[in-house]
């Protein structure tokens, strides 16, 4: 019986190559493919390589338009949605270096309010193009610089009058006339008032917006420095006459002044602590400190204490310039308190609705 001889493997490969490819699979090849398939299935599904995801971030274009001429100044492009108005101001400053961010005022409408730097562009956008109106706010100064300049002037000016410079008073008359104790006490109280303001500016107060127009600082300095010169000239004059009721009037007024200064300081500390703690859901409440109990009656006790300080100083020194300054300060404090009281009514209506702004019942 003749056995059929299978061609050898090399010869078979040569035949397959000669015919242009394999015509069929051998039994061994089929088994090998089956084993490979079982191995792949046992290992799990073959995961395709992750496809590159295209970015879906929508960028905005901010058109800056002059509020007066309505002409386009520039377009700030590729602004991410998370950007704030301050970021836009910095990019605007790169395009227009003559306007640095602090002097740029941006409005959503021509007659609308200036937008805060913390406002996000996404909250303003109706479409991919946001139009903002530009106003040049002029030269700007920081709030810390503003208050330090405004309060340092009265402190130094008063001391110049207190030492009675020869260019201000007659030296012969200054040596002859004896200084009443109220003159020294007034200098102490006046310096204490402005030193407290300076220290609170540096270590207590927190300013939300970073800048204010330079013209506001000039007006504030002219007001405080001018009145300080007038007040100090009369109190430190060699012919100054003491208060009518003598020692009692001076003592009670000085005690009231010191209490108002202490109350003002504790109220400012309480307001600063309330802001730093992040608890803005309720109106500032009084603490164990008796000076903060004024929160039960008025919404702005810091202005109440400030007005009380100057009224007490007027009674203590009994001079017309101090009285006029105190009168103007009471009016100004009342206006500021009314403005802040309206904001409190919007945010904390149940707690504030029965409170006065600065003086119980009257304001």
CB atoms within 10 A of CB 356: 17
Q: Using CA atoms, how far apart are residues 135 and 73, in angstroms rounded to an integer?
A: 11
Residue 258 burial by Cβ neighbours in a 10 Å radius (0-12, 13-18, 19+): middle
Cross-strand bridge partners of residue 105: 135
- The whole-model pTM stands at 0.77
CA distances, 198 to each of 33, 35, 330 (Å) = 88, 86, 21
Domain 60-138 -> CATH class = alpha beta
User: So where are the chain's domains?
Assistant: 60-138, 142-241, 244-362
Q: Is the dihedral of CA 273, 279, 280, 281 positive or negative?
A: negative
| Per-residue confidence (pLDDT) for residue 3, from 0 to 100 | 42
Q: Using CA atoms, how far apart are residues 190 and 196, in angstroms rounded to an integer?
A: 10
Spell out, as residue ranges, where the chain has pLDDT lower than 70.
Answer: 1-57, 208-209, 275-282, 361-363
């Amino acid at each position: 019986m003749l056995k059929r001889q299978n061609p050898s493997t090399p010869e078979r490969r040569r035949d397959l190559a000669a015919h242009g490819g394999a015509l069929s699979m051998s039994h061994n090849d089929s088994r090998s493919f089956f084993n490979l398939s079982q191995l792949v299935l046992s290992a799990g599904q073959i995961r395709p390589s992750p496809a590159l995801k295209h970015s879906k971030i929508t960028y905005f274009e901010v058109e800056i338009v002059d509020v007066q001429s309505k002409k386009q100044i520039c377009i700030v492009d590729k602004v991410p949605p998370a950007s704030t108005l301050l970021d836009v101001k910095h990019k605007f400053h790169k395009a227009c270096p003559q306007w640095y961010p602090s002097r740029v005022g941006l409005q959503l409408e021509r007659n609308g309010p200036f937008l805060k730097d913390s406002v996000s562009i996404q909250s303003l956008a109706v479409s991919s193009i946001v139009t903002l109106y530009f106003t040049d706010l002029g030269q700007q100064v920081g709030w810390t610089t503003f208050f330090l300049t405004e309060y340092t002037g009265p402190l130094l000016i008063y001391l110049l009058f207190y030492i009675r410079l020869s260019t201000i008073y007659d030296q012969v008359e200054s040596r002859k006339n004896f200084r009443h104790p109220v003159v020294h006490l007034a200098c102490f109280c006046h310096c204490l008032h402005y030193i407290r303001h300076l220290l609170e500016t540096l270590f207590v107060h927190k300013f939300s917006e970073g800048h204010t127009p330079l013209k506001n600082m000039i007006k504030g300095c002219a007001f405080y420095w001018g009145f300080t010169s007038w007040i100090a000239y009369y109190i430190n004059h060699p012919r100054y006459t003491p208060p009518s009721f003598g020692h009692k009037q001076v003592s009670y007024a000085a005690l009231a002044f010191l209490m108002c200064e202490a109350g003002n300081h504790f109220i400012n500390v309480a307001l600063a602590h309330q802001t730093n703690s992040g608890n803005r859901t309720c109106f500032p409440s009084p603490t164990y400190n008796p000076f903060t109990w004024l929160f039960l009656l008025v919404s702005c006790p810091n202005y109440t204490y400030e007005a009380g300080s100057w009224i007490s100083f007027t009674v203590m020194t009994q001079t017309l310039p101090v009285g006029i300054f105190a009168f103007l300060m009471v009016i100004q404090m009342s206006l500021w308190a009314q403005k802040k009281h309206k904001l409190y009514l919007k945010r904390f209506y149940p707690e504030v609705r029965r409170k006065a702004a600065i003086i119980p019942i009257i304001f």
